[in-house]
Structure 1
Amino acid sequence: MRNRHVLLAAMGAVFSLVATGVSFATNAESSGKPNIILVMADDQGWGDTGYNGHPFVKTPELDAMAQDAFVFDRFYAGAPVCSPTRASVMTGRNPNRTKVTNHGRYMRPHEQTIAETLKAAGYITGIFGKVHLGSGQPDSPCNPSGMGFDEWVIGLNFFDNDPYLSRMGKIEHRQGKGSVILMDDTLDFLRKHKDGDRPIFTVVWFPSPHAPHAELPEGPSLYEGKRHAGYYREITLLDQQVGRLRRALRDMGMAENTIVWYCSDNGGLVKETSGGREKKGSIYEGGLRVPGIIEWPARQLKGRTSVPVATFDIYPTLLAMAGVDLYAPHPLDGMDVSGIISGTVAERSKPMGFWHKLQGGQGTRSDQIQKAIMEKQQAGAPLPHDPVRMRKDVDEFPQFPKETTTGHAAWNDWPWKLHRINGSKYELYNLSDDPMEKTDLSQDPEQAQRVKQMKQGLDAWMRSVIHSINGKDYQGLK
């Protein structure tokens, strides 16, 4: 299944938006395809930045990036917890389709990833940091090589100071702050390939500001006496590393033709600054709404939009912007939003579906697991955790009944959002008038027709997701 992307050699479609003077066309003879870097925080809420108005947290680097680039005011994670959102970035699909129904689940290797598609189009690919989608062992089909990455140094889940990281399957015990080490590895990869003849695709997934919040930023102690001080310190540490990346790109002469897309993997840990109702773990706005910024100096991306965009839009959008043909053998939930970025499109044309707790999560103790593997590797002994952590979720295709409605789902057809809780309870909100989702309009007689239509749309989408998770999308593919 993984080898099918070698058939994608003929790529290079041109995508151009000239109405506003912004063009995403790429001319291989003059500028070449852009480098692409995806940066993601772990648990940073929408309001946990200076540029979004946090009362005291210091994020000068993200603030500067927001000033220089294009800001998504309503950017959504694909799910309210980490692993599923990461699967949505990789595939452009709702994560339930990929079997990543909750944290700690593995993404099926049958999926077509953005890394595979860009690699087939000539990109060198690398991923660094927290992956939480599979294995770090060298022979697993669920490691980053199986996802399309040429080089990788990863944690299985969040990590903090002095982490155990897997470099292409070999475990290393590193000394220092995990988020700084992650950027060290990222910059080494960029320097190694910056003068090559292939464009670069890099995924940078921070372990911060996830608990236990032991990493400290450079400089004087911050936020003493503040609630959640450790959380905010890790946000500032992360911010410093984003600034380090942006400066390095300029110093290496790469910044001009490099797309950098920044976001978080789910809502934050503090309700008051989550940007909506509730926080991480919830399908309400506070669990899904996250910071989102994209920059590409060569195309002078600048401005701010309130049009909803989500992590599952990243795959089709970046391919369009890079002039690479979209290869999508499976149904996508995302759409190309490059028109929204350019200003030629003012509304989203496709509703967004979310579905959490179809299954429970599974614990992944990254340092504990990788330390045990390292000790076995050093002793020349058989590796632990086989076969569970080599092929988890790969060979099993449990058949969910097509009418399954377990958990909490939502259908965002802006500005309307319909919730379906455990299959039978519905709530309707107008997010434009009621961004905190306080006033349920599902029983309002004036909204009866809207509720009926949105129920039909949400249910049809949920049936489609069940079709996917049952493995039907893969039938007939080789």
Structure 2
Amino acid sequence: MKIGLLALLTVVAVAHAERPNIVLVMADDQGWGDVGYNGHPFVQTPELDAMAADGFVFDRFYAAAPICSPTRASIMTGRTPIRSKVTSHGRYMRPQERTIAETLKAAGYATGIFGKVHLGSGQPGSPCNPSGMGFDEWAVGLNFFDNNPYLSHNGKVERRKGKGSAILIDDTIAFLEKHKDGEKPVFAVAWFPSPHSPHEEVPSGPALYKGKGKMVAYYREITLLDQQFGRLRRALRELEMEQNTILWYCSDNGGLNEETSGGRARKASIYEGGLRIPGIVEWPAKKLKGRSAVPVNTFDMLPTLLSMAGVETDFPHPLDGVDMSGVFDGTTAQRPRPMGFWGGFQSGQSTKSDAILKAIMEKQQAGEPTPHDPLRMKKDVDDFPQFPEDSATGHAAWNDWPWKLHRINKKQDEVFELYNLANDAMETTNLASNPEHKERVERMKKELDMWMRSVVRSINGADYSEE
């Protein structure tokens, strides 16, 4: 059922040398307010602050989901992650999905991914490993990792010595060095395992924070992350790749501290604190600079980046993302369509990265069949259980800026909440029962329900057809 990519892809006639390099960097559990440039009371992030000063900042950048794996799938596909079967953490992305890496590879890019992926397998031969997602080279963990991690390099598992966040930047820089003088532009993905718990990595030199208490290890890893991101940004300059490189930084979901999450609640919540994240873009050749409050989502990254790179393609699947590149020059002053969010559709699945990869490494070194087959090779991606189209499990929301409607289902109870985010960023005053907003609530209910039905049809397999 894999759709023929080359048969469907058309590429704008732009010379490879003129196409920009693209580098995507993502933190794991960093909240909107957990950066200096957004006014954190004590955490200092001088590297991210410098990028914010030099580049373009999204004030309302959203993760497509309030937890890690689904947001990663949204970046890969440009779609609400439930459509691709990534309903929660640890769920594999279906190989039938068309990814941004596949599209850019077909357009002539060298593709690499490094760090935490958490979307599938690290074993060779799996359609759910990064090769199956369109990456030429990869060195990845299956979930978060800390010091001295086990990582799979193109399917061969190795124990690496050092700080995990530094190792992935080492690998990313090595990939950039390999291709800097080549004929192909570069698409590199560097996804940090920090500042996810258990927060065992520590920064170099004196700590750039003065906080105390239970969150201190979390903030310490944010300092480490900032230092390593600075290394990558400097490497782009040293390799003379900076000018024609789109560098995009974000997080995968809201932070761990509600006080600095940028909204109500924190990671794992469909309220703003679980979804609002840092977002910065830099492209010196195009002099991207400024700040915008127009809402942008991680599933917008795929169509936006393809537009910026001059790559056209007809996607066979419905995209939730839209091209938001007009925000950079002010031609897009508002979001053209609402954003849907849906959490709690299914529970997550445990992925103990080091334990799984260590077991694979030991079998590889002994020349024995690798474990976890078929569970870790393909998991359940060939299964198409048919969810009822009127499914409404969990907590969904419809963001039609500045209005946000929540639909919360608990057992037999269904609750609706309406907030004006422009006036009530913390979502404290529920306006759903206010007669003044009756028509708005009814309209948004219908729109949210129609979107949820389309998502269910997608996970049921309606988007895929036989070749």
| 2:350 paired residue number | 363
Q: Distance in 1 between matches of 2:332 and 2:214?
A: 41
Report how far residue 381 of structure 1 moved.
Answer: 1.2
Residue by residue over 1:44-66, the C-alpha shift from the partner in whole angstroms, topping out at 9 and shown as x without a partner, is 00000000000110100000000
Q: Which amino acid aligns with 1:332?
A: L
Q: 1:319 aligns with which of 306, 309, 330?
A: 306
For residues 113-137 of structure 1, what are the alpha-carbon distances to aligned partners after superposition, in whole Å with 9 as ceiling and x for unaligned? 0000000000010000000000000
Q: Distance in 1 between matches of 2:334 and 2:34?
A: 26
Q: Which of the numbers 20, 34, 38 marks the counterpart of 1:48?
A: 34
Give, as a single letter, the amino acid of the residue that structure 2 aligns with 1:208.
S
- 2:154 equivalent to 1:164: no
Structure 1 residue 382: Cα displacement: 1.2
Task: Report the CA distance shift for 1:356/1:9 in structure 2 as closer, same or farther (over 3 A).
Answer: closer
Quick check: 1:390 aligned with 2:377? yes
Could you list the runs of 5+ residues in structure 2 that have no partner in the other structure? Answer: none
Give the RMSD, CA atoms, in angstroms.
1.2
2: distance between equivalents of 1:232 and 1:442?
Answer: 37
TM-score (norm 2): 0.97
C-alpha separation between the residues in 2 aligned to 1:61 and 1:327? 37
Tell me if 1:190 matches 2:143.
Answer: no
Once the two structures are TM-superposed, the CA of residue 336 in structure 1 deviates from its matched residue by 0.2
Q: Distance in 2 between matches of 1:84 and 1:10?
A: 28
Indicate the residue corresponding to 2:421 in structure 1: 431
Match of 2:270 among 267, 280, 283: 283
1:443 corresponding residue in structure 2: 433
Alignment-mate amino acid for residue 441 of structure 1: L
1:241-390 alignment runs, 5 A limit: 241-390=228-377
Identify the residue that residue 4 of structure 1 maps to in structure 2.
4
1:23 maps to none
Indicate the SS of the match to 2:399: strand
- Name the aligned partner's letter for residue 413 of structure 1: D
Counterpart for residue 202 of structure 1: 188
Across the two proteins, how many residue pairs are aligned to each other? 463
Quick one: distance in 2 between partners of 1:3 and 1:455?
A: 34
Q: Give the secondary structure class of the aligned counterpart of 2:35.
A: coil
| CA deviation vs aligned residue, 1:216-274 (integer Å, no higher than 9, x gap) | 11112454634411101111111111111111001101000000000000000000000
**1:413 maps to which residue?**
400
Contact 1:99 1:393 in 2 (8 A): no
Q: Secondary structure at the match of 1:243?
A: helix
Structure 1 runs not aligned, ≥5 long? 14-26
2:243 alignment partner, SS class: helix
Matched-pair contact (CA < 8 Å) for 1:223–1:232: no
Q: Verify the 8 A CA contact 2:3 2:96 in the aligned structure 1.
A: no
Using a 3 Å threshold, how does the CA distance of structure 1 residues 6 and 103 change in structure 2: closer, same or farther? same
Post-superposition shift, 1:86?
A: 0.2
Deviations 1:28-84 (A, max 9, x none): 28x510000010000000000000000110100000000000000000001000000
Q: Does the alignment pair 1:220 with 2:206?
A: yes
AA of the residue aligned to 1:32: E
Supply the distance in 2 between the matched residues of 1:98 and 1:224 (Cα, whole angstroms): 40
Letter in 1 for 2:192: F
Distance 1:459 1:225 in 2: 45
Aligned partner of residue 354 in structure 1, secondary structure: strand
Distance 1:2 1:55 in 2: 49
Deviating more after overlay: 373-382 vs 269-278: 373-382
Q: Are 2:462 and 1:475 equivalent residues in the alignment?
A: no
Q: Compute the displacement of 1:2 (Å).
A: 4.3
Distance in 1 (alpha carbons) for counterparts of 2:206 and 2:437: 54
Query: Does the CA contact (< 8 Å) of 1:159 and 1:178 recur in 2?
Result: yes
Partner of residue 19, structure 2: 33
Is the contact made by 1:2 and 1:146 (CA closer than 8 Å) also made in structure 2? no
Contact 2:397 2:406 in 1 (8 A): yes
How far apart, CA to CA, are the structure 1 residues paired with 2:160 and 2:120? 21
The answer as to 2:80 corresponding to 1:90 is no
